[in-house]
Chain A
Amino acid sequence: MTTSARRSSLGIFSRLPVRRIVLIVLGVIITVAAIAGARATLATGQYSGRVWQDLFVQGLARGSVYALIALGYTLVYGILLIINFAHGEVFMAGAFTTLFLAGYLSSSGFMASQPVLSLLIMLAFSALVSMGVALLLERIAYRPLRGAPRLVPLITAIGASLFLQYTFRGFYGEQVRAYPNIPGLTGDWNIFGISIDRPRVVVIGAAILIWSSLYVFIERTKTGRAMRAVGEDREIASLMGIDVDRVIVITFAIGGALAGMAGILFILLFNQASFDMGFVPGLKAFTAAVLGGIGSITGAALGGLVLGLIEAVGPILFLSGAGIPSVGQLTSVVSFTILVLVLIFLPGGFLGAPEEKRA
């Protein structure tokens, strides 16, 4: 990694600096401990196959939401090399605003007669609101700073994040509000012999659909190609006649729309909106983006799903066998330990570019 690698007589480790060896040893110790913990948990026999199945589906569902939000981080990073820390608030803006539309649809009886159409309307509305917020954010907070050192937009992003949170608190108040239940989405569906909560099925299905459309858009369309070109090298792309500003605006619009739709999927799972609902999912999604390799859209999806699964299954699998009480409280400890582990062995995340190529 660095030129200051010390020579030593450790055979295959001889090219690695000591720091790296220490990290790898640490990684191996944690991995061994995790495997031992998992064996101990499975040996207790306390958890049936049905429980693991449930946990797995729960993890996939929340991972799908993380994945969609993570796409927003990764798209913007891929093109501008900045972390849009206000993205969690873009997500909140759509989900929280749509609460009022949902309330109207529900009280007018439209939701009861047309649940599928209602859900689509909510998705579209939330996507539009989030897209609007993302575009404003780009225009007001980021565009004036194009070309500034990368730390500057980062600080702006944090400021914008707080600004948006408290603006929405001013709009809608600080109470936690529940969405009306969407009829037809209670109870289970039987899929491949497994009964799964209906909202989870919808969330996982919708996330797959949305992600695939994005993938096709980026890989197959002219605009998608332009986005990839700008991500590769902004200056050359502009020399080739690509309108860089337009591409950046499109990127923010797509990221915003994805966050808005993720907001509604989040609501399907958890049913609650509040002004600070974007903070934790935003942080988790950013983690997912890093885990998958920031800049890669497949990586964002993979990172989101892996993080969701680790959160749902990890604490019980790795820790409960070791006799640790209240493992659920240690969810973040487990997921961030895994993040550190992955970054030790794969510094660029699962599918990230090797470090030298970036920045």
Chain B
Amino acid sequence: MKLSRLLVIVAVLSLVAVACGGGGGGTPEECEADEFGCVTVAAGEPIKIGTLLVITGENQTLGLDSQAGAELAVDYWGDNAFDGTVGQIAGHDIELVNEDEGCSAEGGTAGAQRLVTDTQIVAVIGTSCSSAALGVADKIFGDQGIPLVSPSNTSPALTNPGTHNPFYLRTAHNDTIQGAVVAEFASQELGAASAATIHDGSPYAEGLANAFAAAFEEAGGTITDQVSIQTGESDYSSILTDLATGGPELLYYPIFVAEGGLITQQAVENGSFTYLAGSDGMFTPDWIAAAGAENADGVYISGPDLSQLAGDADFYENEFLPAYNETYGEPTSVFHAHSFDAVNIVLTAIEAVAIEDGDTLHIPRTALKDALFATENFPGLTGTLSCNENGDCQQSATIGVVTVENGDFSDYVYSATKGLEG
């Protein structure tokens, strides 16, 4: 008796469930058709955008700067003013959910897994470091149909057709561009005929070192050595002694703050290298502090040239930067504008695909991804953004080179714009 009554209850309940799920309850057919379904934002609920950036540890200046750019974009959205009010889409606030990626594959995995537990996350801005994204965060989000848009990943591998995840995009330049500009600067401006590179095994550093080496050799230079180092050590002097036997004029080590500082110090001490150069992973006052100002002086550092913003330079100088300074102080890195753009293309895409259903908002995931990849001639802060099928939204980039003078980064001493193709 009891069992049959239970069965009846179960049967009735499942009928109700089927009826509700079946379309009468108002899930639009776009959501049914979408492989990953929709994010449904109920009335009064915010639209959640994740950020997965390096916001703790020795490279935190890189991620905190991008996070600031993202927060400013959310502020600016809708009312086109930096007034501290968050932007809205169809009456829903935009909310950022911030996670840390620790500038490592392990950190990227952990942070991404924390974010995907929240099924309301529509898209994610990140990661800061290529190592946190490549094969890790890009896959975890891609498997859930969540687009990942990075403001500062520059490793060529992330957008190589073989390794590109279909849900991954970036507003940062591809390092094939940066490597080529540094090589051009080294061979033409400095007149260096030979160079050696050091990377730390991270996709960013390895990709950039290789891109540089290829372009430098193409320009007629000689690469005497390309080595990788183990991070977390203190003494790299024997590696530098070894490299010096090849007699390179330039030592290029596009790595991060701690090892970058040590190698700067020990290379100056070694004294065999005429020129030292690094890239955006070291483009922060923290690196100068780690190296010691006396040693950092004269080292060349490359990164996106924000003084030559192909976008709206006037807006950047007179509106964006003052707003940034007011809330966050001086920028500690060079990717805040890329982060601002990343949030804007995401929000624009959400606006384009979101389906309003009374006060409820449905955002079909695959359609959102397609809209992001369809971004064409978007007027961004860093230039005109057009995303290609591999997720590169920066079809050309202006890379600048600065040097260090009296413990401070100088103005750009060299700057060049190059396209992604050649």
Contact = CB atoms under 8 A, between A and B. Distances in A.
B227 A325 contact: yes
Contacts of B229: 326, 328-329
A19 B245 CA distance: 43
A176 B238 contact: no
A69 to B, nearest CB: 12
A274 interface: yes
A331 B230 contact: yes
Given A181-B294, A197-B269, A271-B265, A329 B230 contact: yes
Contact of B57 (A174, A269, A280, A281): A174
A59 to B, nearest CB: 7
Nearest to A330: B230
Given A62-B235, A332-B230, A176 B242 contact: no
A55 B241 contact: yes
Contacts of A277: 234
B223 to A, nearest CB: 13
A176 B230 CA distance: 17
Nearest to A314: B238
A305 B227 CA distance: 26
A336 interface: no
Contacts of B57: 174
Contacts of B142: none
Contacts of A327: 227, 242
Interface string B288-331: 01111010000000000000000000000000000000000000
Given A177-B290, A178-B292, A181-B292, A58 B238 contact: yes
A47 B238 CA distance: 12
Contacts of A281: 234
Interface string B254-284: 0001100110011001000000000000000
Nearest to B289: A178
B82 interface: no
A108 interface: no
Given A47-B245, A329-B227, A176 B258 contact: yes
A272 interface: yes
Contacts of B232: 280
A140 B389 CA distance: 61
Given A178-B261, A272-B258, A312 B238 contact: yes
B416 to A, nearest CB: 30
A345 interface: no
Contacts of A54: 241
A195 B344 CA distance: 58
B228 A272 contact: no
A35 B277 CA distance: 37
Nearest to A180: B292
B262 to A, nearest CB: 6
Contacts of B257: 176
A20 to B, nearest CB: 33
Given A55-B238, A197-B269, A327-B242, A175 B262 contact: no
A274 B232 CA distance: 11
Contacts of B241: 51, 54-55, 58
Interface in A273-331: 274, 277, 280-281, 311-313, 315-316, 320, 325-329, 331
A325 to B, nearest CB: 7
Interface string B72-112: 00000000000000000000000000000000000000000
B234 A326 contact: no
Contacts of A178: 261, 265, 289-292
Contact of A280 (B58, B234, B242, B244): B234
B237 interface: yes
Closest 10 pairs between A and B when the two form their complex, measured CB to CB: A328-B239, A178-B292, A326-B227, A176-B290, A312-B238, A326-B228, A270-B234, A58-B237, A176-B258, A54-B241
26 contacts: A47-B245, A51-B241, A51-B244, A55-B241, A59-B238, A174-B58, A175-B286, A175-B289, A176-B258, A197-B269, A269-B234, A270-B235, A270-B266, A272-B262, A274-B258, A277-B234, A280-B234, A311-B238, A313-B238, A316-B238, A326-B226, A326-B227, A327-B227, A328-B242, A329-B227, A331-B238
